[in-house]
Copies of this chain bind each other. A is one copy, B any other.
Amino acid sequence: MAQVDTVTRILDAAEELFAEHGFAETSLRTITARADVNLAAVNYHFGSKKALIQAVFARFLTPFYKMVETSLDVHEKNHPDTILSIEDILKFVARAMASVTEGDRSRLAIFMRLLGLAYNQGQGHLRKYLQTEYRSLFRRVMALIAKATPDLQPVERFWRFHFMLGSAAFTLSSMENLRAIVEHDFDTKCTEEEVVGYLLPFLAAGIRAK
């Protein structure tokens, strides 16, 4: 091993570039150039560009997944039969995201962008991958949300959940551009924590509307 593993150098470069320019717009040659790695290395280590995208995704999602699972487990052990509020659920998720992306803000953007693509990409090989790979966590969170919003019809709850998802995905994936606009228009800087602090009450109020 040279200085840093070739595989992680590729993942790091891909993560940055995907978040910056999107997936189709980022070529393997750009990635391998930034990673200071031979072009063939991607296909050697990952098999294909598609697989690389999934690997970038997985490197974020797997620890996030475990983080949420275990913190929910701990909470349920300490406070059994408690019904979590929407705010609490969102805080669990937000805390897991923060701890996973700690020190590397672009990782959140890339994940959220991928989430957005996963949903509105017509073919959607990403959404299927996501759904099959992380189905259990998804179901668990959905069940918690259902308990927190008992007087909501299932279909409307489904939609409101995706309204929340959309808000988060859009905002967090455009975070850098939006922060730049704020700085230009209001002469103020916003930390990511502040933005999340704005976001969660918005989402909570939205899902329990009326």
Residue numbers in B under 8 Å from A199 (CB-CB): 159, 163
**Which of B154, B166, B181, B182 is close to A167, meaning CB atoms less than 8 Å apart?**
B166
Query: A121: CB under 8 A from chain B?
Result: yes
- Interface pick from A6-14, A32-40, A68-76, A112-120: A112-120
CB-based contact A206/B210 at 8 Å: no
Residue of A156, A170, A208 most packed against chain B (CB within 10 A): A170
Inter-chain CA distance A124–B173, complex, in Å, is 13
Complex copy number for this chain = 2
A33-72 CB contact bits vs B (8 Å, 1 = yes)?
0000000000000000000000000000000000000000
- Interface pick from A20-28, A88-96, A97-105, A143-151: A20-28
CB-based contact A21/B122 at 8 Å: yes
CB-based contact A177/B119 at 8 Å: yes
CB-based contact B171/A158 at 8 Å: no
CB-based contact A25/B22 at 8 Å: no
Residue numbers in B under 8 Å from A198 (CB-CB): 156, 159-160, 163
Q: Provide the main secondary structure of the chain A interface.
A: helix
CB-based contact A170/B121 at 8 Å: no
Known: A162-B170, A163-B167, A168-B166. A119 touches B202 (CB 8 A): no
CB-based contact A178/B162 at 8 Å: yes
Residue numbers in B under 8 Å from A160 (CB-CB): 198, 202
Query: A130: CB under 8 A from chain B?
Result: no
CB-based contact B177/A158 at 8 Å: no
**Which of B162, B201, B204, B210 is close to A171, meaning CB atoms less than 8 Å apart?**
B162
Could you write out 25 A-B pairs with CB less than 8 Å apart?
A21-B121, A22-B117, A24-B24, A119-B174, A120-B177, A124-B177, A155-B182, A156-B198, A158-B182, A159-B190, A159-B195, A162-B178, A163-B170, A164-B167, A167-B167, A167-B206, A202-B206, A202-B207, A202-B209, A204-B209, A205-B205, A205-B208, A205-B209, A205-B210, A206-B209
Instruction: Return the 3 tightest CB-CB contacts between A and B, nearest first.
Output: A166-B170, A205-B209, A206-B206
